[in-house]
Structure 1
C-alpha cells in the first residue's frame, strides 16, 4: 500500500533550514515509494465550530495517511491528531521537547542523569524574583552556573554565569520568562555529543567541539566529527527519547565526571543535514522507514 504523507514546516522563520529538512524527508519518502506534500504551517488553518473540526487549505486534497511534523506549532499538530491522522512526532512529544523545564522533569522522573537543576518560580509578566531564591540557587549550585531559558534553540538562551553580580543582572533581565538555574558541567566545556535516535536505535552520532565557547553547537561555530557512541551513551539516548514519548530525536549528551554521559537537551526536530555532512548517514531514510513500518 502506497501511503501519502504531509511534511509540515514553519512558514514564518527566516532562512531555508526548515524547508531543507522537509525536502530531505520528502526525498527519503520518495525512495520508499511514498508520495508526500510539503506544507508551511501557515498554509493549514485549524478550524473549529459546533460539530466542526477541520484543517482549512487551498488545495482541498484529502487528509494524509501520516504527517511528519517539522515544526513547533503544537496546536496544528494536535488538530491533525484529533482528526485521526498519525503525527510524527506527536504534539505532546514536540511540546515537551520545546520546553526544557518539562523535558528535565520527564528525565528526572525516569531517573536519567541530568545536571542538577532548580526551576525559577513563575513570574507573570513582571515582578522581582525573591532574593532568597537566588541565594538558594547559589548555595546549591555554586559558580560558574548555567542560566537556561526554557524556550530557545541552537544554543541560544543559555548563559554561563561566573559571579553573584552577573547572576542578579541576568535574573533581572529574564522577568516574565520561564528559566532555570543549572549546574555547570565543567568536564564538558566546549564539547558534547549529538546522538540521533529513531525508534529504539541510535542511527548516527557525532561529537561537537568549540574552541572559544562553553557551548558546542555547530550553528554557533562548533566543529563536528563522526563518533562511535558507547553502549552506555546509546542506552541513555534511547531512554531519553522514550521519556518524552518521541519517535525520533536528536539527543545532546554532556561529558560528566569520568566521561559518564549526562543528558543536556532533547531535540524533537533535530536538523539532519549536519549529521549527514559529518557521518554520511542520511537520518531521513531511517525516519521514513520507521514511520512506514509503524503504519503498515
Structure 2
C-alpha cells in the first residue's frame, strides 16, 4: 500500500520529526508513506477529465494524509477515488470558525455568544460590552485572536487583521482550555492547557499542559460533535464558563500532538495509521 503525506514545504521543515515518525510507523504497517510538498502537485482538468500529477507521474496513492489546508486539492483526490484524511468535508468546516460554530449551534452544543462579521461590518459595528475577542475565521494556534477592551481598540486592531471574515465572541474563563484528541469516533485522550500570563492557553504561546480526565458531561458533548463528522484525526478544543462547564471553542483539523506526546505514552501516529488502514479494508 502506498500513501502520501502532504505538507507545505515550510511546515514540513518545522515538523520533520513528526513526519519521520509517521513514515516509520507506516512502514511497520506495510504502508510506503511518501512526503509530498503541495507545490510539487499539479492538478486540474485535462482532456475533459480531472487529473493529479506528482513529479510528472499520474500514479495515485491508496490514500492521502493532508497536513495542510487545501480544500480544493482534497476534493480533487476524493473525486478521483483517493480517500483523504481528514476528508474535505471535515476540513472545509473545521478550518472556518464561523462555519463550525454555525453547524454545532444547530445541535445544541454549548458555546459562548458569537457574532459573524466581515471586515466592513466589523468597522461599522458599535460594541457595548467589553472585553471580547476577535478571531479570524481561518486562524490557527491562537495567533489570530485579539482581546478587545474598547471600540477604539477595534479601530486600532483592524489594520493588523489579515482576513475578511471574523467571529466576535464574549470572553470565557481566561487562560484555560482542554484539547480532546479524537480518531474516528473514539476519544483518545485530553490535555488541559493553562496560562497565567495570557487569556489564550495555547501551549505554543507559553501555556502549560497536563493530561486531563474528561467528566461525563464533557464526554457526552464530544460524542455529540463526533457523530456530525467523518473524522480521521482532530483536536476538539473547549474553554470553560465561570461554573467550569465546557464550551465549544474550535476543531483543529491539522492537529499537532507535541503536548500529547510530551505528557503521555500514547502513540497517536500509530493509532491514526491503524485506523486508516482498517478503514480502507
Q: Same fold (TM over 0.5)?
A: yes
**Cα displacement (A) at 1:80:** 0.8
Q: Name the counterpart of 2:192.
A: 207
- Where do 1:37-48 residues align within 5 Å? 37-48=34-45
Counterpart in 1 of 2:65?
A: 68
Residue 249 of structure 1 is matched in structure 2 by 234
- Structure 1 residue 231: Cα displacement: 2.4
Asked if 1:78 corresponds to 2:75, the answer is yes
Give the Cα–Cα distance (whole angstroms) in 1 for the partners of residues 106 and 26 of structure 2.
36
Distance in 2 (alpha carbons) for counterparts of 1:290 and 1:283: 10
Alpha-carbon shift at residue 6 of structure 1 (Å):
1.3
Alpha carbons of structure 1 residues 182 and 31: separation in structure 2 relative to 1, 3 Å: same
Gaps of 5+ in 1: none
CA contact (8 A) 1:203 1:286 kept: no
Does the aligned pair in 2 maintain the 1:241–1:247 contact within 8 Å? no
Using the size of structure 2 for normalisation, the TM-score is: 0.91
Partners of 1:236 and 1:159 lie apart in 2 by 27
Q: CA deviation at 1:61?
A: 6.7
Could you tell me which residue of structure 1 aligns to residue 142 of structure 2? Answer: 155
Match 2:255 to one of 270, 283, 288:
270
CA contact (8 A) 1:4 1:64 kept: yes
Residue aligning to 1:181: 168
Partner residue, 2:210: 225
**How high is the TM-score relative to the length of structure 1?**
0.87
2:36 and 2:252 map into 1 onto residues whose CA distance is 21
Alpha-carbon distance in 2 for matches of 1:268, 1:239: 17
Distance in 2 between residues matched to 1:175 and 1:190, nearest whole Å:
24
Among 1, 4, 14, the alignment partner of 2:2 is 4
CA distance in 2, matches of 1:271, 1:20: 12
For the 8 Å contact 1:197–1:238, the answer to whether it is kept is no
Q: Is 2:10 the partner of 1:25?
A: no
Which 4+ runs in 1 deviate beyond 6 A? Answer: none
How many pairs were matched up? 281
Q: Residue 47 of structure 1: CA displacement?
A: 3.0
Q: Residues 240 and 266 of structure 1 are in contact (CA less than 8 Å); yes or no, is this contact kept in structure 2?
A: no
Q: Secondary structure of 1:243's match?
A: coil
User: 3-state SS of the aligned residue for 2:273?
Assistant: helix
SS in structure 1 at match of 2:108: coil
Contiguous gaps of at least 5 residues in structure 2:
none
Q: Which residue of 1 aligns with 2:221?
A: 236
